[in-house]
Amino acid sequence: FKGLMAGKRGLIMGVANNRSIGWGIAQACARHGAELAFTYQGDALKKRVEPLAAGIGSKLVLPCDVTDMASIDQTFATIGKEWGELDFVVHAIAFSDKDELTGRYVDTTADNFTKTLFISCYSFTAIAQRAEKLMSKGGSLLTLTYYGAEKWMPHYNVMGVAKAALEASVRYMAADLGPKNIRVNAISAGPIKTLAASGIGDFRYILKWNEYNSPLRRTVTIDEVGDSGLYLLSELGRGVTGEIMHVDAGYHIVGMKNPEAPDI
């Protein structure tokens, strides 16, 4: 598989540090020969993303805040100028006010609902619009979702609603872009301790619950999500679009608590 991504160029959006899921996917792609560009949100993250990108030979590291359409335009204009064509994009971006990732969903404010849905769902659509123009030979778009889109989870609240919308947008965009051989998929990752996850109430409990109750009796790593991402982004996944692929140690198939699980 060494040359699986040889000659392919991809944009990775949403790396904050070396624990980011986007970084796990980036490393898997780089190991298999892809040339990568990265975006970061704000100067504080620039200092973290630049050395990571340099470590895997990436020269294009661009600022992009997805709340600003001009910033997304600028990113794709630069990619277009530097590369001409683009083979894949990873969207590993989500945001919600921490105060509303605890307590009840029903208390969500209009302001945070709008912000959460915009950043966590619409930004993928906005990115796909621009990526399409650089994918005349086809391509692959990948986003990250969570099981809280399908089932109620404690504290996930408005983010669950945003992920449900994101998953629906994957299906609509897969249908829209399929005739151009642009595939659109999502990975529904099991819980992983990242910067974004630390904003979710009782996250340690969620991790333990998954460890005790998933079929594989553990949680997943960013490398495992990365390898599954590689499949969807490469020719291995060429027949797959509109898919929400669970990479969660099998947790989504479980209907009841494991009777042998210890108390948490």
Amino acid at 120: S
Q: State which residue, 33 or 153, has the beta carbon closest to ligand NAD.
A: 153
> Least separation, in Å, of the C-beta of 108 and ligand NAD?
17
> Least separation, in Å, of the C-beta of 52 and ligand NAD?
11
**Contact between 72 and ligand NAD (CB under 6 A)?**
no
Q: Could you tell me how many residues of this chain bind ligand NAD (CB under 6 A)?
A: 27
Rounded Cα distance between 41 and 44, Å, is 8
Q: Which of 36, 37, 72, 94 binds ligand NAD (CB under 6 A)?
A: 94
> Least separation, in Å, of the C-beta of 203 and ligand NAD?
8
Tokens 């540090």, located at residue:
17
Rounded Cα distance between 128 and 173, Å, is 8
Cα distances (Å, whole numbers) of residue 9 to 34, 35, 115, 177, 209: 6, 5, 30, 19, 38
**Contact between 161 and ligand NAD (CB under 6 A)?**
no
**Contact between 92 and ligand NAD (CB under 6 A)?**
yes
Rounded Cα distance between 231 and 236, Å, is 5
Terminal Cα-to-Cα distance of the chain (whole angstroms): 41
> Least separation, in Å, of the C-beta of 259 and ligand NAD?
26
Rounded Cα distance between 113 and 25, Å, is 28
Structure-token pair, residue 231: 């499949």
Rounded Cα distance between 120 and 101, Å, is 14
What x/- string results for residues 183 through 202 when contact with ligand NAD is judged by CB under 6 A?
------x-xx-xxxx-----
Given the residues 156, 172, 231, 251, select the one marked as catalytic: 156
Helix (H) or strand (E) holding 129: helix 123-132
Helix (H) or strand (E) holding 161: helix 157-177
**Contact between 244 and ligand NAD (CB under 6 A)?**
no
**Contact between 114 and ligand NAD (CB under 6 A)?**
no
Rounded Cα distance between 45 and 63, Å, is 9
Do you know the residue count of the chain? 264
Q: State which residue, 140 or 194, has the beta carbon closest to ligand NAD.
A: 194
Site for ligand NAD in 12-51 (CB under 6 A): 14-16, 20-22, 41, 45
Q: Which of 142, 144, 174, 249 binds ligand NAD (CB under 6 A)?
A: 144
Our answer to whether residue 251 is catalytic in this structure is no
Our answer to whether residue 40 is catalytic in this structure is no
Residues that bind ligand NAD (CB under 6 A): 14-16, 20-22, 41, 45, 64-67, 92-95, 119, 144-146, 189, 191-192, 194-197
Positions annotated as catalytic residues are 146, 156
